[in-house]
Amino acid sequence: MALFVTGAAALGLITAPAVAAPDRPTGTEQVAVFGHRGASGYRPEHTLASYELAARMGADYIEPDLVPTKDGVLVARHENEIGGTTDVAARPEFADRRTTKVIDGQELTGWFTEDFTLAELKTLRAKERIPEFRPNNTIYDGRYEVPTFQEVLDLRARLSRELHREVGVAPETKHPSYFARIGLPLEPGVVEALTRNGLNRPNAKVAVQSFEVANLKALDESLAVDLVQLISSSGAPQDFVESGDPRTYADLVEPEGLREVAGYADVIGPDTKVLLPVGEDGFLTGPTPVVADAHAAGLEVVPYTVRAENNFLPADFQTSDDPAAFGDVFGFFQALFDTGIDGIFADHPDIAVTARDDHATNR
């Protein structure tokens, strides 16, 4: 697997077969930190500034979510609806683009990337998505463009050279069934970009993610990199819903489901609540066997997402009534590391790196 490849092999400087790595890392010091949408706790998400800061803070991977433009270019946005992450609502020239669509069964009103050419999107500027919890990030509103996937890959390559370590990339394919249905499939562009940039190879520090199953199975035929089956704490993969498959995400993390996932993916990316459920009172109810079961199936486990603010932490780790203040995020990291996870998505990569390293030292 490629999640923990470092040094010359990760840089593509070794062409001979490498010595096989253990099935999973043996120490917490090897837990990989994924900069979730970059360092989105400190900069508006999915901007080159956010990704660069994540890498400089020590993140092993940066994570761009991918959606297409009208002319088929992959860009980094958490959702194709961009009213909350750009200044499009303040642009009178795009007022007539506001519309209502049904995306994965949910009705949304706003502005959508697939209705804009890349040139049009490049005139917009990013803004903080959750200013009520991250008011300090709003000072960066209006400074950054919407980046293309290629621009993210170019940044990754530059930072790898500058930092003298390979910076990984973990693109997520957003709403693949929806985009395939409207004639803008994501997968060809992902495969083409990774291949063109020399990253479609075994041991590349790349992990391609999806909440759906069918597109990961298709990508498994075209990509030599790690694939990540994302697992929500509720509901079912959209392609299951549309095909009439009755299984849910809960079924996928049963031992039988995990064995099936291992046939096409290398990693599961569950919501933290799949590993550490939260009761109705907001407190943790105890760990589940999912990490052990996934490891038994040959899968690594990289849960999402740890955020430092009280609003996003279980009640066990909230330190005040201020939802925007940082809580006991180190305590939450400790609880997650104790389950035996192999990586973690975090909005504050510097805190994740410190927590990871401290936990490894104290083992």
pLDDT in tens, the chain (363 residues): 546 443 333 333 222 222 233 333 334 448 999 999 999 999 999 999 999 999 999 999 999 999 999 999 999 999 999 999 999 999 999 999 999 999 999 999 999 999 999 999 999 999 999 999 999 999 999 999 999 999 999 999 999 999 999 999 999 999 999 999 999 999 999 999 999 999 999 999 999 999 999 999 999 999 999 999 999 999 999 999 999 999 999 999 999 999 999 999 999 999 999 999 999 999 999 899 999 999 999 999 999 999 999 999 999 999 999 999 999 999 999 999 999 999 999 999 999 999 999 988 877
The amino acid present at 55, given as its one-letter code, is A
Edge-to-edge strand ranges of the sheet holding 343-346:
168-169, 61-63, 32-36, 343-346
Strand partners, 269: 230
Read off the pTM. Answer: 0.91
Q: Are strands 74-76 and 267-270 parallel, antiparallel or unpaired?
A: unpaired
3 state SS of 336 = helix
| Token code pair at residue 69 | 């433009």
Q: Which helix (H) or strand (E) holds 354?
A: helix 349-362
Q: Tell me the C-alpha distance between 326 and 342, whole Å.
A: 24
Beta bridge partners, 62, equal: 35, 169
Helices vs. strands in the chain: H and E counts, helices first? 14, 13
Per-residue model confidence (pLDDT) at position 3: 60
Question: What percent of the residues of the chain are helix, what percent strand, and what percent coil, each to the nearest 5?
Answer: 35, 15, 45
CA distances from 268 to 211, 239, 265, 276, 323 (A): 10, 17, 8, 15, 29
Nearest to 175 by CA among 218, 126, 208, 215: 215
Q: What is the pLDDT of residues 301-321, one digit of tens each?
A: 999 999 999 999 999 999 999
Q: How far apart are CA 344 and CA 143, in angstroms?
A: 29
- Angle, helix 187-196 to helix 149-163, in steps of 10 degrees: 30
Give the CA distances from residue 222 to residues 86, 177, 217, 295, in Å, rounded to whole numbers and listed in that order. Answer: 33, 18, 9, 25
Count Cβ atoms below 10 Å from residue 181 Cβ, excluding itself.
11
| Contact (Cβ atoms closer than 8 angstroms) between residue 84 and residue 128 | no
Write out 135-176 in H/E/C secondary structure.
Answer: HHHHHHCCCCCCCEHHHHHHHHHHHHHHHCCCCEECCEECCH
Gap between the Cα atoms of 143 and 125, Å rounded: 6
Helix axis angle, 329-337 to 349-362, nearest 10°: 60
| Buried residues in 302-331 as b, exposed as e (16+ CB within 10 A) | bbbbbbbbbebbbeebbeeeeebebbbbbe
By the 8 A CB rule, do 77 and 85 touch?
yes
Q: Where are the beta strands (DSSP E) in the chain?
A: 32-36, 61-63, 65-68, 74-76, 99-103, 106-110, 168-169, 172-173, 207-210, 226-231, 267-270, 300-301, 343-346
User: Could you tell me the maximum CA-CA distance found in the chain, to the nearest angstrom?
Assistant: 58
Q: Which residue, 73, 56, 211, 222, is CA-closest to 145?
A: 73
pLDDT per residue as tens digits for the range 76-88: 999 999 999 999 9
Average pLDDT value over all residues in the chain: 93
pLDDT by residue (tens digit) across 82-141? 999 999 999 999 999 999 999 999 999 999 999 999 999 999 999 999 999 999 999 999
